[in-house]
């Protein structure tokens, strides 16, 4: 069973931060950028970040709930590092319930 936690982060500069973050992590992890959407594949989970004019929609999905939860802090800290002029941003993480297959 996979677990997903998500947050909507308000920032007018989301696309820039998604690109910077994916470029930053591309040296150690598999990353993919399409327009203003970025995906980072961690060893235990996948983070997807989709930016628009008002913010970034972040979703982290993985098999181990504890690992997924730990990545919320990793992702938020890294985005805040690139968003230092407006950090700390507000991350309202919410678990997304998925139906059992």
pTM above 0.85, yes or no: yes
Provide the residue ranges of all domains of the chain, joining segments of one domain with +.
Answer: 3-96
Q: What is the pLDDT of residues 9-47, one digit of tens each?
A: 999 999 999 999 999 999 999 999 999 999 999 999 999
pLDDT at 98: 64
The top-level CATH class assigned to 3-96 is alpha beta
Q: What is the pLDDT of residues 48-69, one digit of tens each?
A: 999 999 999 999 999 999 999 9
In order, the DSSP letters of 5-40 are EEEEEE-TTHHHHHHHHHHHHTTTSEEEEETTEEEE
pLDDT band (50, 70, 90) for residue 101: very low
């Amino acid at each position: 069973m996979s677990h997903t936690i998500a947050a909507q982060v308000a920032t007018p500069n989301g696309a820039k931060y998604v690109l910077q973050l994916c470029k930053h992590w591309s040296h150690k992890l598999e990353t993919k950028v399409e327009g203003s959407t970025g995906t980072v594949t961690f060893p235990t989970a996948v983070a997807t970040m989709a930016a628009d004019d008002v913010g970034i929609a972040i979703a982290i999905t993985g098999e181990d709930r504890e690992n997924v939860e730990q990545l919320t802090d990793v992702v938020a800290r890294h985005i805040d590092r690139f968003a230092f002029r407006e950090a700390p941003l507000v991350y309202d993480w919410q678990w997304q319930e998925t139906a059992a297959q």
